Amino acid sequence: FMAFAKRKEKFDALNAELLGLSIDQIFSHIKWDEWIEENMDVQIPFPIIADMNGSVAGKLGMVHPGKGSQTVRAVFLIDPESTIRIILYYPQEIGRNMEEILRALEALQVSDREKVAMPANWPNNDFMKDRVIIPPANNIEDAKKRKEQYECYDWWFCHKELKK
């Protein structure tokens, strides 16, 4: 949770709310929160749900076979309509990648707003850099117009710059 806390301003800038979930007891959360602040000089600025019986974690697929009752590290990106858009599971041994989580969140928001798709590693794609992919044409007339409106590798693979 410390990594999320340290990037709270970046999540705020993307209009994202943070919420933690742990299968530990409330008392453990309180002591853990105090320890983090005293020893790591980091405040956890978002609520943490105490899922003491693991029912929420179980429903969210956070308990994996062979791990006993311990949960995997999970991230759920949920849109304003309460639809889960991205689920990321990390084994306990692997830390979450905050930059990827922020990138994915921003990519979802841009994709929704602009009605486009993002190439791999957007905004640092090897071929298109920060350009975005235009959805395929729905008819022959639109397919013919595409090369006039956008840069295209072919009629079905066109891209554009985002307006700044």
Beta bridge partners of residue 154, listed in sequence order: 157
The reply to whether 49 and 90 lie within a common domain is: yes
Judgement on whether residues 47 and 127 belong to the same structural domain of the protein: no
**Contact of 47 with 20, CB cutoff 8 Å:** yes
Q: Of 63, 94, 125, which one is at a domain's C-terminal end?
A: 94
Q: Can you give the pLDDT at residue 64?
A: 83
CA distance 11 to 17: 7
Contacts 24+ apart (CB under 8 A), 55-63: 56/21, 57/21, 57/23, 60/21, 61/87, 61/89, 62/21, 62/89
Question: Which ranges of the chain have pLDDT less than 70?
Answer: 67, 69
Could you report the per-residue pLDDT of 57-101, keeping only the tens digit for each? 999 999 887 767 688 899 999 999 999 999 999 988 999 999 999
- Whether residues 140 and 76 share a domain: the answer is no
Residue with tokens 């692997």: 94
Residue 106 lies in a domain: no
- What is the per-residue pLDDT for 147? 84
Residue-range definition of the domain harbouring residue 59: 2-94
Shared-domain flag, residues 15 and 47: yes
- What CATH number is attached to the domain comprising 21? 3.40.30.10
CATH code for the domain in which residue 138 is found: 3.30.1020.10
State phi, psi for 49 to the nearest 5 degrees.
-80, 130
- Residue 113: alpha-carbon gap to chain centroid: 16
- Dihedral sign for Cα atoms in the order 159, 112, 10, 56: negative
pLDDT given for residue 48 in this prediction: 94
